[in-house]
Every structure is written in structure tokens, then in C-alpha cells.
């Protein structure tokens, strides 16, 4: 069994691939990428995204965001635009983590990737992917030195 420190080292090395991003953002992205590579998450076709986002929105008691699917981009998987409550997905396929990442931005209302964002992404992942995925992502964030609220806070339901 691989120790979390080995996954954290992988995430730290991978963060160099996000050189245009601030260091905290790059490390956040890298932790998500490592978690996705180690624990399978569901891939979604663009036709399935709307219904999944609608179900999440109802469960979370948030306004259902507009979903726009555009051309695939080599560097951007998706973006959230809180001022118009819209998620823009790049390409015909994406995965659950990418969608929850953008929902987390809409829920907290800021484009940054600080502790508030990471806490929300872990909480959403716990509720809508699996406890296993959420706990692994949480552990990666902590092991790489990113600030997190206590794990029990991720069990909070709206």
C-alpha cells in the first residue's frame, strides 16, 4: 500500500505543470488530478451533465446553474462564472470532479482556490462521489501543506 506522502510528492511534482496558476491553485489542481488517477470517478457525457447538476442543485438547495458546453480546450477543462451563474464545460465529455469543482466555485462565490473552496469541494465530493474519494482528496490537500478545516466539517449537509 502506498503511503499518502508518496501521493503528496506526486502532487507537488505535478503542480509544476500548472505554471500559469498561483502556487496554491496549482497544488489544488494537482491534488485533484492525483486523486482522480487513483480513485475512479464517473465520466459524464455532455448530455448527462444537466441532469446530474440539477439533481445536485436540488439536494444542495442551490440555484441550478446554466450549463454551456463549448469546444474542447487543451488547457481549460471548465470554468465557472458566478456573476451569471453558469458553468462552461470544455468538450463533449468531462468527469464528476470537474463538475463539482465548478459547482464549488458557484457555491462559495469566488474564483480562488483557497481553504473555503477546498472545503466545499471535499464536502461536495463526499456527498456526490464517495467518502473514499473525498477523504483521499482531503488527505492529499493536508499532506501537501494546503490548509483545510477539520474532516468532520465535510459531513455537513445543507
Give CA–CA dist 143/8, Å, rounded.
6
* Residue 156 resides in a domain: no
Nearest to 15 by CA among 149, 144, 148, 147: 144
Percent of the chain having pLDDT more than 70?
Answer: 98
* Residue 158 resides in a domain: no
What range does the domain containing 123 cover?
A: 4-150
Who contacts 87 (Cβ-Cβ below 8 Å, separation ≥6)? 53, 65, 66, 67, 68, 78, 79, 80, 81, 99, 102, 103, 106
Q: pTM of the prediction? A: 0.94
* Residue 94 resides in a domain: yes
104-135 pLDDT per residue, tens: 999 999 999 999 999 999 999 999 999 999 99
Structurally, the chain folds into a number of domains equal to: 1
| Res 154: pLDDT | 86
* Residue 155 resides in a domain: no
CATH number of 21's domain: 3.30.2010.10
| Res 71: pLDDT | 86
* Residue 35 resides in a domain: yes
Window from 12-16, 45-49, 133-137 with minimum mean pLDDT: 45-49
Amino acid at each position: 500500500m502506498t503511503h499518502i506522502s508518496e501521493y503528496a510528492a506526486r502532487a507537488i511534482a505535478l503542480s509544476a505543470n500548472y505554471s500559469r496558476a498561483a502556487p496554491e491553485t496549482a497544488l489544488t489542481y494537482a491534488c485533484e488530478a492525483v486523486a482522480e488517477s487513483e480513485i475512479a470517478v464517473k465520466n459524464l457525457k455532455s448530455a448527462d451533465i444537466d441532469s446530474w447538476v440539477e439533481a445536485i442543485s436540488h439536494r444542495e438547495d442551490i440555484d441550478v446553474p446554466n450549463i454551456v458546453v463549448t469546444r474542447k480546450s487543451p488547457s481549460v477543462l471548465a470554468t465557472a462564472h458566478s456573476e451569471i451563474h453558469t458553468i462552461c464545460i470544455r468538450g463533449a465529455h468531462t468527469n464528476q470532479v470537474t463538475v463539482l469543482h465548478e459547482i464549488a466555485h458557484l457555491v462559495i462565490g469566488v474564483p480562488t482556490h483557497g481553504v473555503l473552496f477546498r472545503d466545499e469541494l471535499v464536502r461536495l465530493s463526499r456527498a456526490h462521489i464517495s467518502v473514499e474519494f473525498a477523504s483521499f482528496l482531503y488527505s492529499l490537500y493536508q499532506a501537501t501543506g494546503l490548509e483545510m478545516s477539520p474532516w468532520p466539517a465535510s459531513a455537513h449537509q445543507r
